């Protein structure tokens, strides 16, 4: 009888603790008080990042009480906090404070894309081609956006980038999109990397920019000569859990504007409308467009279209 009373008192005084297999899962993309946040949970360990002040990181662990205790690091600040998950796993709520103590402040969020059907996202990040007012403004991305606006289940986003910081910012935002991400980089290029207004973006800078893209299905460089350099292999080697059939594609030669337009409308149409994997779509480009690969035709120089893929 006494043991039963003690058991009852203990249950009333202390919260029930969860078994490790029953811990709430904080993984996912969240829209929060301090920007978009992506969390990845393995067992009780949680890592992630959020978009406040460009790029900030978060790390912690889920206790047996179901609460995520974390530390955060921003470019100019760091601190600690905690989150709890709602019963339906669609909302988080918690508090934070800076290192050294101070007032606790609220930090809340909800799952990104809640109630929105996942989409195939074609995201085109483009350098501005014209260099003076004497040139008419033109855009490769606008052409692709207009073409794929007609395809059900495909959402297009087109943005201009001028430096590595722009690239990093838009990649970070793209990590929160609910669905598969098909990324196109449209700019001048060379075997050394993509060329933006601010100068060349190196392999290291590009790999750093795409690190948050857990939803990435492929990358295509609508740029001359990129595939002749080290960037494609550096990208493929940088990730250990790429999506099945993940590839990096582009051109190893200087490619004619009209040729690249024809190739890329066909290429992405095979993927986004006809349902081919990026690998199979790339093969179809080589098989169906005579000048796409390494052989010129009577009327068009070889484009040098090629790809590398994760092993």
pLDDT of residue 176: 75
**According to the model, what pLDDT value does residue 5 have?**
46
Per-residue pLDDT, 279:
95
Neighbours of 76 (CB within 10 A): 6
Task: Output the pLDDT for position 35.
Answer: 86
> How high is the pLDDT of residue 19?
56
**For residues 49 and 212, is the Cβ–Cβ distance under 8 A?**
yes
Q: How confident is the model at residue 14, as a pLDDT?
A: 42
176-206 burial by CB neighbour count: b if 16+ within 10 A, else e? Answer: bbbbbbbbbbbbebeebbbbbeeeebbbebb
Give this prediction's pTM: 0.76
Predicted local distance difference test score (pLDDT) of residue 272? 95
| Partners of residue 155 on adjacent β-strands | 121
| Residues of the chain with confidence (pLDDT) below 70 | 1-21, 113-118, 240
Q: Per the structure block, which two tokens stand in for 193?
A: 């990397």
DSSP letters, 278-292, are HHHHHHHHHHH-TTS
Closest by alpha carbon to 285, among 300, 299, 271, 301? 271
> Could you tell me the domains of the chain?
15-111 (2.40.128.30), 119-309 (3.40.50.1460)
Residue 248 burial by Cβ neighbours in a 10 Å radius (0-12, 13-18, 19+): buried
Element (H, E) at 235: helix 231-238
């Amino acid at each position: 009888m006494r043991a039963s009373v003690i058991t009852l008192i203990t249950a009333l005084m202390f919260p029930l603790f969860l078994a490790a297999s029953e811990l709430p899962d904080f993984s996912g993309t969240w829209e929060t008080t301090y920007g978009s946040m992506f969390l990845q949970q393995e067992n009780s360990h949680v890592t992630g990042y959020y978009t406040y002040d460009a790029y900030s990181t978060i790390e912690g662990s889920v206790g047996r009480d179901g609460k995520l205790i974390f530390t955060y690091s921003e470019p100019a600040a760091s601190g600690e906090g905690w989150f709890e998950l709602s019963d339906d796993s669609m909302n988080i709520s918690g508090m934070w404070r800076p290192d050294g103590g101070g007032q606790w402040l609220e930090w809340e969020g909800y799952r990104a894309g809640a109630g929105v059907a996942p989409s195939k996202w074609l995201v085109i990040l483009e350098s501005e081609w014209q260099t003076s007012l004497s040139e008419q403004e033109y855009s490769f991305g606008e052409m692709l956006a207009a073409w794929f606006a007609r395809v059900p289940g495909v959402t297009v986003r087109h943005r201009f980038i001028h430096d590595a910081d722009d690239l990093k910012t838009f990649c970070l935002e793209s990590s929160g999109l609910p669905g598969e991400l098909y990324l196109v980089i449209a700019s001048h290029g060379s075997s050394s990397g993509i060329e933006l207004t601010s100068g060349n973006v190196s392999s290291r800078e590009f790999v750093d920019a795409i690190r948050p893209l857990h939803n990435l299905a492929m990358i295509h460089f609508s740029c001359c000569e990129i595939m002749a350099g080290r960037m494609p292999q550096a990208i493929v080697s940088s990730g250990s859990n790429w999506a099945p059939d993940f590839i990096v594609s582009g051109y190893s030669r200087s490619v004619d504007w009209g040729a690249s337009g024809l190739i890329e409308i066909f290429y992405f149409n095979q993927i986004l409308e006809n349902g081919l994997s990026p690998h199979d779509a790339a093969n179809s480009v080589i098989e169906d467009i005579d000048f796409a690969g390494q052989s010129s035709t009577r009327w068009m120089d070889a484009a040098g279209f090629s790809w590398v893929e994760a092993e």
